């Protein structure tokens, strides 16, 4: 814990003024090549790190941040992400930050496009995006890149973009993890349903697709891929989804496990409960209120999740950090841990805010 050098000391050692040191630290230019080298050298030599506190306290500029993410009901996935973003914003409440929220319907491409089109006009210093629709996201990012405006993603990565950071979990690994849990929890040779609940006409989401692939690969690698039964089911009409699921079970009487590859496990749980179907091990994704209550009630056995709140928090941290220092310290993506929740460890999960 040796005492940290200050800018003033660096300046003295390099034979320049504190202002000049500050200029190179913030990449603000206007420094002769000669001094830049001298300063950078002594900074490296003494291992100078800027004092975040002093930095934050004297930071004047107000940061205009635009946040464009899906709007969801309280307690659902994107609502948790929003909470995490608010946490992050609060944490940095000492630096002046001016936020503009744009919410869109995650099932409606038009609504997303509409909101994304407003972004540039708001002249943000930075942007945080929920990249649900890939094409729209890419298009927006191209403009942001052109304008030199930094942006970050939560929830997933997007090809052909250059975000400061993507905060996301590895969904292939998550799918494989579902596979492992199913392998343990169901008898050898039984079949396992892999479901996605989607709205009629909706594309299934990128994340679900990756999970499906991860799950498939896991079983395939063990020569058991024929145990898997993939199927979508619609959630527009409750009666219909019920029929679909009951049908599935009827057609596969040896089905001992069902993995719901998105957050709609609670729907399947309720259908199975209502019909008194027992002995099917149910796994789903995301700790939404609805899923949590089914987990407590025992109709869902386990949930995989990626702490959406922490995700939101980290995206904000990264983007603000970038704004302060004009450079990212993480290498472009932050991988979230994939958490497994069962009744016993559920109570201690939410508490750990960060």
Partner DNA sequence: CTGTTAGCGCATTCAC
Partner DNA sequence: GTGAATGCGCTAACAG
Asked whether position 240 contacts its own copies by CB under 8 A, the answer is: no
Q: Which of its own copies, DNA, none does residue 354 bind to, with CB < 5 to 8 Å depending on kind?
A: its own copies
- Three-state DSSP state, 128: strand
Closest CA to 85 of 167, 149, 174, 169: 167
Candidates 119, 164, 304, 324; binder of DNA (CB under 7 A) is 324
Asked whether position 338 contacts its own copies by CB under 8 A, the answer is: yes
Asked whether position 320 contacts DNA by CB under 7 A, the answer is: no
- In angstroms, the CA 214 to CA 256 distance is 20
Candidates 173, 224, 246, 277; binder of its own copies (CB under 8 A) is 173
- Among positions 89-128, residues that touch DNA (CB under 7 A) are 94
Q: Which of its own copies, DNA, none does residue 75 bind to, with CB < 5 to 8 Å depending on kind?
A: none
Closest CA to 187 of 220, 231, 224, 232: 224
Asked whether position 181 contacts DNA by CB under 7 A, the answer is: no
Q: In sequence order, what E strands does 263-327 have?
A: 281-285, 302-305
Asked whether position 337 contacts its own copies by CB under 8 A, the answer is: yes
Let me know: does 198 contact 241? Beta carbons within 8 Å: no
Dump the DSSP string for 74-118. TTSHHHHHHHHHHHHHHHTTTS-EEEEEEEE-TT-HHHHHHHHHH
Q: Whose Cβ is closer to its own copies: residue 96's or residue 243's?
A: 96
- Among positions 254-273, residues that touch its own copies (CB under 8 A) are none
Asked whether position 333 contacts its own copies by CB under 8 A, the answer is: no
**HSE-up (13 A, CA, CB side) for residue 118:** 16
Segment holding 183, helix H or strand E = helix 171-185
Q: Which of DNA, its own copies, none does residue 173 bind to, with CB < 5 to 8 Å depending on kind?
A: its own copies
Q: Whose Cβ is closer to its own copies: residue 85's or residue 271's?
A: 85
Q: How far is the CB of 31 from DNA (least distance, A)?
A: 4
Q: Which of its own copies, DNA, none does residue 236 bind to, with CB < 5 to 8 Å depending on kind?
A: none
Dump the DSSP string for 39-73. HHHHHHHHT----HHHHHHT--SPEEEEEEEE---
Asked whether position 8 contacts DNA by CB under 7 A, the answer is: yes
Q: Which of its own copies, DNA, none does residue 93 bind to, with CB < 5 to 8 Å depending on kind?
A: its own copies
Let me know: does 114 contact 106? Beta carbons within 8 Å: no
Closest CA to 126 of 63, 170, 175: 63
Q: Whose Cβ is closer to its own copies: residue 101's or residue 107's?
A: 101
First to last CA, the chain: 25
- In angstroms, the CA 346 to CA 64 distance is 37
- In angstroms, the CA 330 to CA 336 distance is 13
Closest CA to 24 of 9, 3, 7, 47: 7
Candidates 40, 46, 55, 122; binder of DNA (CB under 7 A) is 55
Candidates 37, 41, 45, 61; binder of DNA (CB under 7 A) is 61
Q: Whose Cβ is closer to DNA: residue 23's or residue 309's?
A: 23
Which residues of the chain form contacts with its own copies (CB under 8 A)? 1, 3-4, 49, 51-54, 56-57, 89-90, 93-94, 96-99, 169-170, 173-174, 176-177, 180-181, 184-185, 281, 301, 310, 334-340, 342-345, 347-349, 351-352, 354
Which residues of the chain form contacts with DNA (CB under 7 A)? 4, 6-8, 16-20, 22-23, 25-26, 30-32, 34-35, 50-51, 54-55, 57-61, 94, 324
């Amino acid at each position: 814990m040796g005492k940290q050098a200050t800018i003033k000391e660096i300046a003295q050692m390099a034979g320049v003024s504190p202002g000049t040191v500050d200029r190179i630290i913030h990449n603000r230019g206007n420094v002769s090549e000669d001094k830049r080298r001298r300063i950078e050298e002594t900074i490296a030599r003494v291992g100078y790190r800027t004092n975040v506190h002093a930095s934050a306290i004297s930071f004047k500029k107000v940061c205009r941040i635009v946040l464009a993410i899906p709007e969801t009901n309280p307690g659902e996935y994107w609502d948790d992400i929003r909470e995490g973003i608010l946490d992050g914003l609060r944490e940095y409440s000492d630096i002046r930050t001016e936020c503009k929220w744009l919410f869109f319907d995650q099932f409606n491409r038009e609504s997303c496009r509409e909101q994304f089109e407003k972004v540039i006009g708001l002249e943000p210093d930075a942007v945080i995006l929920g990249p649900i629709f890939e094409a729209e996201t890419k298009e927006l990012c191209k403009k942001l890149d052109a304008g030199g405006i930094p942006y970050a993603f939560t929830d997933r990565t997007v090809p052909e973009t250059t975000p400061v950071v993507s905060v996301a979990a590895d969904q292939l690994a998550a799918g494989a993890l579902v596979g492992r849990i199913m392998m343990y929890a169901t008898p050898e040779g039984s079949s396992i349903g892999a479901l996605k609940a989607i709205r009629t006409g909706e594309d299934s989401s990128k994340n679900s697709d990756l999970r499906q692939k991860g799950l498939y690969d896991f079983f395939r690698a063990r020569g058991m891929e024929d145990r898997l039964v993939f199927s979508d089911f619609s959630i527009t009409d409750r009666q219909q989804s019920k029929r679909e699921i009951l049908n599935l079970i009827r057609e596969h009487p040896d089905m001992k496990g069902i993995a719901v590859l998105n957050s709609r496990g609670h729907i399947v749980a309720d259908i199975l409960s209502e019909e008194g179907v027992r002995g099917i091990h149910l796994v789903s994704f995301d700790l939404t209120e609805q899923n949590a209550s089914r987990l407590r009630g025992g109709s869902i056995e386990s949930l995989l999740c990626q702490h959406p709140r922490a995700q939101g928090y980290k995206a904000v941290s990264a983007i603000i950090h970038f704004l302060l220092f004009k450079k990212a310290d993480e290498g472009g993506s932050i991988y979230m841990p994939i958490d497994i929740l069962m009744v016993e460890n559920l109570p201690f999960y939410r508490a750990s805010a960060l």
